[in-house]
Structure 1
C-alpha cells in the first residue's frame, strides 16, 4: 500500500529524539516554547508511548514522521477535548481511540504528497490497537494566510470541486474524515514581550493585536503587563476505522 519503510519508535527507540527535533523545526517557535502544556508534555509523552510514534523512510532516509496518542472519547462532538493540554497521557489507561497529533514532513520531501501517507499509517496504528476511530485536532495549514478570519468561517470554505479549501483538512476529507467541531484552544502560548520578539523577529512597541509569521490568529500584546497571549483554535476531524 505504501512505498516506504515504516518504522515505529518501540522497535527503533532512536527515532524519539529525531521526531522531537523535527517537530520543533517545523512548528513555529512560540508553540513549543510558549505553550506550557506542549513544552512540558511533548518529550515525556513520546517516550511513554513509543508504539504510537513512527517515521517513514525512503532509500534509507527519513522523509516523514507521525505523532499519535491513545485517548478515551465518548464518541460525541461535545466530548472532544477543548484544550491541547488534555491530549498527552503519561501512562497506560483505558483508551478507545487514536489521536493524530502531528504529521511531519522533512523540508526536502515536502510537496510530494507525503501527508496522505502519514495519515494512512496513523489509521493503520489505530486499527492495530483495535480502535474504531482516528481523531485529529487539525491545524489548518493555510489558515495562517487569513489570520483575521474567524476559524468558523474559514472551515466553511470549499473549492469549485466541492472539497474543503484548506489543503491539510482536504487530505483528511479525501480519506473520508468528517468535521466535528472547532477545538477552542489547540494552542495557548504565553510569554513576555521580549520572548515574543525573539520568537517572531518582530518588535512590539505598543499594546494591540498583531499578525505574526506562522500564527493562525493574531497575538494579543499588552506592553503594560509585559505579556503576549496567543490562542489558536484547531478543528476536530474523525476517521472511522472499519472493524
Structure 2
C-alpha cells in the first residue's frame, strides 16, 4: 500500500479527517477529563506534531493518525507516574508559561479498525520518530498503552511488562514494536490516565450494570474499574509503560 504521511502544518486541510475513527477506542476512553486540554487545541497549537496518513488513491479518509506534544522535561528527571495525563498537563503549563521545550511525548497512534494487522502502527511510529527528529528534538518518549494488556486486566503492569518471548523481545505486540524501533522500556506509569464518572455515565459508556461495589471488568480496559454504589461513582485508573526513544 502506498502511504503518505503529513503533518497538519504541511496539510491543514486534512484536519476534518482526524475525527473519522469510529470504533477505534473504547467509548470510556473519550472521557478522560484531561484530554480536552490537548485535543481541543492540537490542530491550531501543535500542527507540526500531529500526523495524518492517507492512501493517495483514496485521499478522503485517514488510515492512521499520530498525536504528539512538546514539553520541557529534564533528561535526568524520571518520567512521571502520572503518565499520559501528566504529559498533557505539563505541556499545557509549559506552553502558557512560554518555556522552551526539550522533548516530545507521543500521545496517540491510532489505526482505523479495518486497517489493522497491516503494519501501519509501526510505520506511524517511524514517521513520528522522523518528525520529532526533523523538528530538532533528540528524544521522543511515550506513555504506551500495551495492546494485549486488556486480556489480562488483573495482572500488575510490572509483571506484564516483564513477559518476554524466547528472543528476548516483549511478549506484548505494541511494546515489541517500540523496542524494535529503537525504544527502551524505562518505567511503569501506574496512574497514566484517570477517568471518573457517575454510575449512570459508566453504564452509558459500557452497557454494563455497575450495580455492585467492587472491581468491574470492562472490555478494553487494562485494569478493573473501581465501582462504589454507595457514593454513585466509578473510577478507572489506567497504567501505561514509559518508553524512551533516543533519536
TM-score, normalised to structure 1, is: 0.91
Q: Shift in Å at residue 81 of structure 1?
A: 5.7
Question: Is residue 45 from structure 1 mapped to residue 42 from structure 2 by the alignment?
Answer: yes
Count matched residues.
238
1:18 corresponds in structure 2 to: 17
For 2:71, the equivalent position in structure 1 comes to 71
Return closer, same or farther for 1:186/1:112 CA change in 2, 3 Å cut-off.
same
1:125 shift after superposition: 1.1
Question: How do 1:10-159 and structure 2 match up within 5 A?
Answer: 10-22=9-21, 25-33=23-31, 35-58=32-55, 59-61=57-59, 62-76=62-76, 78-80=78-80, 82-88=82-88, 89-90=91-92, 91=95, 93-159=99-165
Partners of 1:87 and 1:190 in 2: CA distance: 19
> 2-side partners of 1:196 and 1:15: how far apart?
33
Quick one: distance in 2 between partners of 1:81 and 1:52?
23
Aligned partners of 1:31 and 1:38 also within 8 Å: no
Residue in structure 2 matched with residue 184 of structure 1 by the alignment: 190
Moved more, 129-138 or 145-154: 129-138
With 212-221 and 201-210 compared, the bigger mean Cα shift is at 201-210
RMSD, aligned CA: 1.9
Alpha-carbon separation, structure 2, partners of 1:152 and 1:73: 24
TM-score, length-scaled by structure 2 = 0.90
Q: Distance in 2 between matches of 1:60 and 1:162?
A: 39
For residues 128-155 of structure 1, what are the alpha-carbon distances to aligned partners after superposition, in whole Å with 9 as ceiling and x for unaligned?
Answer: 1111111110000100000000000000
For 1:9, the equivalent position in structure 2 comes to: 8
Q: What's the counterpart of residue 160 of structure 1?
A: 166
List alignment gaps of at least 5 residues for structure 1: none
Aligned-partner Cα distance in 1 for 2:83–2:245: 20
Instruction: Give a deviation string over 1:103-129, Cα, whole Å, max 9, x none.
Output: 111122111011110011111111111
